[in-house]
Amino acid sequence: MTLSELAPGEIGIVKEFTDLEMSVKLMEMGCLPGESITVSRIAPLGDPMAINVSGYQLSLRKFEASTIILQ
């Protein structure tokens, strides 16, 4: 299951990434394996999404979220 499949309010734990380049950026922003992610909302037009991770809010596109595999 990937992060892009979660609905607002759902929680997931990061397991691994499918895209190396994206993973570097995501990890710098605090999305690390083992970290818990809560989806806070989806943008009005269905993309991008806003998540809560390591204590702050991050927005990312669905495509980017689909590179994050959850446990």
Partner 1 sequence: MKADIRVALVGNPNTGKSTLFNTLTGLNQKIGNFPGVTVDKKTGYSTLPDGRIAEIIDLPGTYSLYPKSQDESIVFSVLADRSNAHTPDLVVVIIDATNLKRNLLLYTQVADLKIPVIIALNMTDLSTKAGINIDIDLFAKKLGVPVVPISARKVEGIDKLKQAITFANKIALQESSIDVEAIAPQLIAQISEELKLDNPYFALQLAHQHETVKFLTPTESDRIEELEKEFSFHSQKSQATETIARYSFINDLLYDTVKIPETAKDETLSNKIDKILTHKVLGFVIFLGILLFMFQSIFAWSAYPMEKIGDLFAWVQNSLHQLLPAGPLTGLLVDGVIGGLSGVMVFIPQIAILFAFISILEDTGYMSRVTFMMDKLMRKVGLNGKSVVPLIGGFACAVPSIMSTRTIENWKDRMITIMVTPLVTCSARLPIYTLLIALVVPNRNVWWIFNMQGLALTGMYVFSLISAIVVAFAFKLILKGRERGYFIMELPVYRMPRWNNVAFSMYDRSKAFVLQAGKVIIAVSVILWVLASYGPGDRFAKIEQKYQQPQYAKQLNPDDLKRAINSEKLENSYAGVLGHVIEPAIRPLGFDWKIGIALITSFAAREVFVGTMATIYSVDGNADKIESVQKKMASAKNTQTGQPVFSLAVAFSLMMFYAFAMQCASTVAVVYRETKNWRWPAIQFAYMTVLAYAASLLAYNLLK
Least distance from partner 1 to the Cβ atom of residue 2, Å = 15
Cis peptide before 33 (omega within 30 of 0): no
9 part of the interface to partner 1, by CB under 8 A: no
3 part of the interface to partner 1, by CB under 8 A: no
Exposed, middle or buried: residue 65 (CB in 10 Å: 0-12, 13-18, 19+)?
buried
Identified binder of partner 1 from the candidate list 2, 47, 66, 69, rule CB under 8 A: 47
64 part of the interface to partner 1, by CB under 8 A: yes
Sign of CA dihedral 32, 38, 41, 45: positive
13 part of the interface to partner 1, by CB under 8 A: no
